[in-house]
Chain A
Amino acid sequence: MPEPKPPTAEADMPTTSGETPVELSPTPTVIRGKRVLGVVPGKPVAGERKEPADDDMVMVWPHLLVRHAVATLATMLVVLIIAMLFDAPLRDVANPTLTPNPEKAPWYFAALQELLAHFHPLVAGVLIPGAIIVGLIALPYIDRSTYLQPKHRKVATTAFTAFIIIWLILTIVGFAFRGPNWGWVWPWEEWHGEL
């Protein structure tokens, strides 16, 4: 690229090296009350057009906020439609003398309840939930690797995925596959899950 030389004469101004000189009209070009004095060679003011990169910074308003607005509306739509289709359950009035069989905890504790059927209560009711809470809190202080992609942190990803899958299976089994006396039932034959 040749060194840009300082403009020496007025005639040099509107030309680019290697191009034919721009012909100026004898009457001044006026845009919104401003006279156009010259045409500057080089890049456009906004810089070269390019594909936006992933690491480019963008304004949160509007780029993120419109996305959040869409997410908000979609969430509300889902809730409003589910609420139209399904009524919240209401069984008979509470009766402390009439114990249902099976007794089921809310679904998010179904995995714990399922564990209680297999282990000593001290293990299933105290040690395992305690270890999960402590483990989750300690996770970022144990896993100090600075890799972000899952493929570069196989140990953490494998352990977490295994935990999620086991917990999911326990929840589904406890919620839908357990009937009277916590015995095994097929959900398509007897349904005991309650939301």
Chain B
Amino acid sequence: MAVTDKETPPSPLGPEVESDVFDKVRETSVGRSIWRAPRRVTPRDRAASHWASFALHIYPVKMKRKEIAFRYSWYLGVISTVLLGSLVLSGLYLMFFYVPSPNQAYSNVQTLQTEVAFGQYVRNVHRWSAHLMVLAVVAHMTRVFYRGAYKAPREFNWVIGVVLLMLTLLMSFTGYLLPWDQLAYWAITVGTEMAAYVPFVGDSTREMMLGGPIVGASTLLRFYVLHVAVLPLMIVSILMIHLWRWRKDSMLEVERNEPDA
């Protein structure tokens, strides 16, 4: 019944643990300087290395089992964030081939579709990701409502989420003008006419948005700057606050009142 005792070289993780090459790299002094918590043996080690990881810092270390299931959130927040990432990447590519001026915008888009490598395809990805993101954000909000996930202590994260929904709509709306075709031009004309109904400040608000009485060159430039700089910066920074609060709030106990839950 005795097991043959073979002398094995001592593992850096302790005598009982097999360590692979990656573990050994993590244990070197350089590895320690990068990973801070190199051991990955016990749950405590894994929690420590999670906590020390930049890539994982937007996540809590542990969550309730039911909260990570598909049926809890349908992962709609993740889906919205992935679509935002898809929009940033495809949008960066489109920016290389686009000049926001009425004389060039439309022909730029035509050139993009016919001559640029993967131009049509990247434009399709950008367009459909944008529509899907509006749907995903609205679905996320609806799911959070029915789950009751906006209740104390998470009220303010719901408010941040409403702001993110508004920013998503504005992102989509400002991007809608950029192809400078009939569809874009008249959709923005109708959309901005709604702003003019606000009493007293409506007309001046609309003129500030358009940079003139009708949709024109300055409108295109303003919408472009909003679309590629101002709104993305706002949406990403506010999304960071949204995620930060999600992580912090995931550790809080929700005050609940479930007689037959």
Chain A residues close to B by CB (< 8 Å): 25, 27-34, 52-61, 63-65, 67-68, 71-72, 75-76, 78-80, 82-84, 86-96, 98-100, 103-109, 112-113, 116, 121-122, 124-126, 129, 133, 136-137, 139-141, 143-150, 152-153, 157, 160, 164, 194-195
Contact = CB atoms under 8 A, between A and B. Distances in A.
Contacts of A108: 134, 169, 172
* Dominant SS among interface residues on chain B: helix
Given A75-B82, A137-B159, A157-B146, A57 B65 contact: yes
Interface of B: 1-3, 5, 7-8, 15-16, 43, 46-47, 50, 56, 59-66, 68, 70, 75, 78-79, 82-83, 86, 102, 106, 109-110, 113, 120-121, 123-129, 131-132, 134, 141-142, 145-148, 150-152, 154-155, 158-159, 162, 165-166, 169, 172-173, 176, 179-187, 189-191, 194-195, 197-199, 202, 214-216, 254-259, 261
Contact of A27 (B2, B132, B148, B186): B2
Contacts, number: 243
Nearest to A94: B185
B162 A71 contact: no
A147 B258 contact: yes
Contact of A67 (B75, B155, B165, B199): B75
B90 to A, nearest CB: 9
A91 B182 contact: yes
A90 B109 contact: yes
A96 B154 CA distance: 47
B2 A91 contact: no
B13 to A, nearest CB: 13
Contact of A90 (B16, B110, B190): B110
Contact of A146 (B180, B184, B255): B255
Contact of B43 (A59, A63, A91, A153): A59
A110 B113 CA distance: 28
A82 to B, nearest CB: 5
Contacts of A55: 64-66
A140 B159 contact: yes
Contact of B5 (A30, A98, A107, A139): A30
B50 A104 contact: no
Contact of B128 (A68, A83, A126): A83
Given A32-B16, A121-B197, A103 B186 contact: yes
